[in-house]
Amino acid sequence: MTRLPAPPLTLLRAGAVFAPAALGARDLLLGGGRILAMGEDLRPAAATLGVTEIIEAPEGKLLPGLIDQHMHFLGGGEADGPAGRMPELSAGEILGAGITTAGSLLGTEMEAKTLPQLLRKAHELDAAGLTSFIYTGSMRLPAPCMTGSVRSDIALIEKVLGAKSAIAERLYPNLDFPALAALAGELAQARAMTGKAAVLHLHVGRLRSGLEPVFELLDRVDFPADQVVPTHINRSPELLPLFDQGIRFARQGGVIDFTCCLGPLDGIASGFDVVAAVRRALGAGVPLANITLSSDAGVAVPDPARSGGFRSVPPAILFRDLRRLVREAGLSWAEALPLVTSNVARVLRLGASKGGIAVGMDADLLLLDEADDAVMVIARGHCLGIAAGAAKNRRVTRGFA
């Protein structure tokens, strides 16, 4: 499999760095896929080292590369029938959306799409510059695996950071609490053995039971709240108790994940728009540190251009909603960024290398211009060009000394 060549030493000069905290103007020296140095003026050091590639963005904002913990590399939509089967996601779609680290899982179809297939797809995306990880398991219980058990999948396969399951889901009701508790036990063992996050990543469906099985796990088997990641929490609070249950869970120390495509903006009337969901959660006293966003990219949503048809959710909606949090919810970049960077990295125990901008961390970066359009993505030190949708003639220059 062809891989990218080693990235060159690069000097990046940005007018405003968000790490996610606001640091002001900074120079970064990148090499070997990492951030080697950061300071107010690294031009003398870069000249001494013979740096040949320089990126100048005096009016730009430099952000950590985004982390999306829930997308469908193999495509989703199987629950919507043959017309809802979506194509695989490409590295260009994901990286072009400013996402430099991404996680994936199986959807409702497990006959034609398998865990080994998902693992192989993750390696394909890595070869193009992405940092990928996957969840073993699936919506059904007992959880499928690749090496004999969920525990051994996590222990033996580097890319496996946890397991997926489903609760409150009509297609996979999983009403057998002992089976869910057994899966939680395997994950607890895997975390103790490996030091990995070994998270229980839970698809939460539309049944009114909502997070009741999660509270039961916490109460009956003392499963740690920080090891559960319930997603799709932003289902309409007018229709279901799930959102209020999510507030309760977050107040108990858990982290709730809101799904960007789950709302009227993307044709899902039973969803609660992400910006409104974040506002309401903050108003209910949930700390920003206990909220994450993910795209669910690759899944099918109604296509307004085709009666009865579907379209694939693009990875770009994660950045769309990050920017909306700044423009519509009134959050600063420093406040909004953790929801798609450092909070996710902390939950997944990737914080030593992902989700921030600091010396020693991976050189995963997203550069915005003065209009807050994404104009450049850098993944593990590789400048992978202009991000999707960026306008031309911005005040970002790239050249050689």
CATH architecture of 10-64+356-400: Roll (2.30)
pLDDT in tens, 347-399: 999 999 999 999 999 999 999 999 999 999 999 999 986 654 444 434 555 55
End-to-end CA distance of the chain: 33
CATH architecture of 66-347: Alpha-Beta Barrel (3.20)
pLDDT for res 305: 77
Number of neighbouring beta carbons within 10 Å of residue 399: 9
**Contacts for 281 with CB less than 8 Å, ≥ 6 apart:** 246, 247, 250, 256, 291
Cβ atoms 355, 21 nearer than 8 A: no
Would you list the domain boundaries of the chain? 10-64+356-400, 66-347
Own/partner contacts of 110-113, CB < 8 Å, gap of 24 or more, are: 110/138, 110/139, 110/140, 110/144, 113/74, 113/75, 113/78
Q: Looking at 50-130, which runs of residues are DSSP E strands?
A: 53-64, 66-71, 99-104
What is the DSSP secondary structure assignment for residue 359, as one 8-state letter? T
State the Cα–Cα distance between residues 257 and 272, nearest whole angstrom: 13
pLDDT tier, 401 (very low <50, low <70, confident <90, very high otherwise): very low
**Contacts for 371 with CB less than 8 Å, ≥ 6 apart:** 391, 394
pLDDT for res 1: 53
Cβ atoms 284, 334 nearer than 8 A: no
Residues linked to residue 82 through DSSP beta bridges, in sequence order: none
State the Cα–Cα distance between residues 333 and 181, nearest whole angstrom: 39
State the Cα–Cα distance between residues 188 and 61, nearest whole angstrom: 40
State the Cα–Cα distance between residues 257 and 240, nearest whole angstrom: 16
pLDDT in tens, 240-288: 999 999 999 999 999 999 999 999 999 998 999 999 999 999 999 999 9
Query: Helix, strand, or coil here: 63?
Result: strand
Number of neighbouring beta carbons within 10 Å of residue 33: 18
Q: For the residues 33-53, what does the mean pLDDT come to?
A: 96
pLDDT in tens, 278-333: 999 999 999 999 999 999 999 999 888 777 788 999 999 999 999 999 999 999 99
Q: For the residues 186-207, what does the mean pLDDT come to?
A: 98
pLDDT in tens, 235-251: 999 999 999 999 999 99
CA distances from 87 to 42, 53, 119, 233, 266 (A): 44, 36, 17, 26, 18
Asked whether residue 224 carries a pLDDT value surpassing 70, the answer given is yes
pLDDT in tens, 96-131: 999 999 999 999 888 889 999 999 999 999 999 999
pLDDT for res 386: 62
